[in-house]
Amino acid sequence: MSEVRVRFAPSPTGSLHIGGARTALFNWLFARHNGGKFILRVDDTDLQRSTEESMKGILEGLKWLGIDWDEGPIYQSQRIEEYRKFANKLLKEGKAYYCFCTKEELEEMRKQAEKEGRPPMYTGKCRNLTKEQIEEYLRQGKKPVIRLKVPQQGKTVVHDIIRGDVEFDNSTFDDFIIMKSDNMPTYNFATVVDDYQMGITHVIRAEEHLSNTPKQILIFEALGLEIPQFAHVSMVLAPDRSKLSKRHGATSVQEFRDQGYLPEAIVNYITLLGWIPKDGEEIFDVSKSIKEFTLERVSKNPAIYDVQKLTWINGHYIRNYDLDKLTEVVIPFLKAKNFIGEDFDYDYIKKIVSVVREREKTLVDVADAMSYYFTEVNEYEEKGVKKYFTK
């Protein structure tokens, strides 16, 4: 096998949630297991929704989990000329074309398709415009999109390492857009260009992207590029098997951190969301994951998020954590509760941590259990006061 090169490509439009963290982790484990490279790429072409704050949170979350990258972060927004270059190549070779259809025309196509009981697909109206027609539209100041000429017959097959072969009829795709009228690439087009130029050998991502994969394969084929191997990991679902959301509790790495979970416990738990070591053990460190991780052993079945199991695993790590390391990570929680200030007796805190950690499951629990040692007694049980302090 040539050098394995994988990537994690988050969009900086929100926080690093548990599903994204698992995708990053599986890519990272695969790279480390195979002695390959893990590349961090930032899909930030949606300039209106992308924020520096979100990107900062994602980077901090990855670092906290111990997921380091070999190259990057590489920002798509800084690579726009590359996408235009590849789009122009397709135009020149007749594999893509300018489309000048207005929103009104596209809406009329949609309505007509509905009326005839067909899927709402682009009809290919601009597919065969002459050079003169195109030049005239451009002279008029019309801003076109660029569409890929999709083969109207045959099938596109996704050879998936986890799911096996998945077939798609080309007739189910219209000539989809690869460059928008503002000269920005669509997600699928930018992804293909990036994966090619970055030498990505394996695309490991969530199952929700499976529907994008045949379109990306069609782009790879149109450009005459080697297609990477694909592996689509099942979704992480809530206990009721619905899509995981905030109503099911903490779902972002930052929330887990704030609630007193240890990074090693989070990594252990999310590794179990679709994979398990050969011996079936549920508590294991990352070195074991790196040694044993293969895509062939990733489950096809949806992973069910279970916060109780995560908390149980976290409790195990708290009980077995290096005492000095545990004391260091508990101190910020003690400060947040105003149990201690900037000046404190480290050895005293360490002794208390060694006592209370045996029963607690999060760092918040540990800090709460230590309150007795830092809170002045100012209330007395009435009967006890009368018994010992009355004449």
Q: How many CA atoms lie within 13 A of 82 on its CB side?
A: 15
Residue among 243, 246, 291, 309 flagged as catalytic = 246
For the four alpha carbons of 194, 196, 197 and 200, in that order, the dihedral sign comes to positive
DSSP string over 312-323: HHHHHHHHHS-H
Cα 387 to Cα 376, 381, 384, 391: the distances in Å are 22, 10, 5, 9
* Residue 278 designated active-site: no
Rounded to a whole number of angstroms, the distance between the first and last alpha carbons of the chain is: 89
Contact 137, 111 (CB under 8 A): no
Strand partners of residue 98: 146
Q: Residue 269 in contact with residue 55, Cβ under 8 Å?
A: no
CB 363 within 8 A of CB 260: yes
Q: Say if strands 145-148 and 96-99 run parallel, antiparallel, or are unpaired.
A: antiparallel
User: Which ranges of 66-209 does DSSP label H, i.e. alpha helix?
Assistant: 80-92, 103-115, 131-139, 187-197
* Strand order through the sheet with 155-160: 164-169, 155-160, 229-233, 202-206
Quote the CA–CA distance of 130 and 127 in Å, as a whole number: 9
Place of tokens 């809530």: 238
- HSE-CB of 312 using CA atoms within 13 angstroms: 6
How far, in Å, CA of 261 to CA of 314, rounded?
6
Region of residue 241 (phi > 0: left; psi between -120 and 50: alpha; otherwise: beta): left
Neighbours of 384 (CB within 10 A): 9
Q: Write out the catalytic residue numbers.
A: 246
